[in-house]
């Protein structure tokens, strides 16, 4: 199973990236709104004590 992001344009779901799918293939589209994504992010966010990017860059110096 492959996840393909699509956008709805002129009555047709169009993939956001080029995909190779045989003609007549069937799939399922699950619609999500931006609000659902924001709620998901709020539910799963973590507070961290330090900036991971700063730590990463300091380790590389």
Q: What is the pLDDT along the chain (61 residues), one digit of tens a residue?
A: 788 888 888 988 889 999 888 999 888 888 777 677 777 777 877 766 677 778 878 887 7
Query: Per the domain annotation, does 22 fall within a domain?
Result: no
Instruction: Spell out the long-range contacts of 51-58 with Cβ–Cβ below 8 A and sequence spacing 24 or more.
Output: none
CA 27 centroid distance within chain: 18
Residue-range definition of the domain harbouring residue 54: 27-61
Q: Is 21 within a domain?
A: no
Q: 0.75 exceeded by the pTM? A: no
Residue 34 belongs to a domain: yes
Domain annotation covers residue 14 = no
CA pair distance 14, 52, nearest whole angstrom: 36
Q: Is residue 46 part of a domain?
A: yes
18 is a domain residue = no
Number of domains in the chain: 1
User: For residue 13, is it within any domain?
Assistant: no
């Amino acid at each position: 199973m492959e996840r393909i992001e699509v956008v709805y344009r002129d009555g047709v779901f169009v993939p956001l990236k080029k995909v190779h799918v045989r003609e007549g293939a069937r799939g399922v589209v699950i619609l999500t709104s931006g609000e659902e994504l924001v709620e998901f992010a709020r539910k799963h966010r973590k507070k961290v004590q330090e900036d991971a990017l700063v730590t990463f860059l300091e380790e590389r110096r």
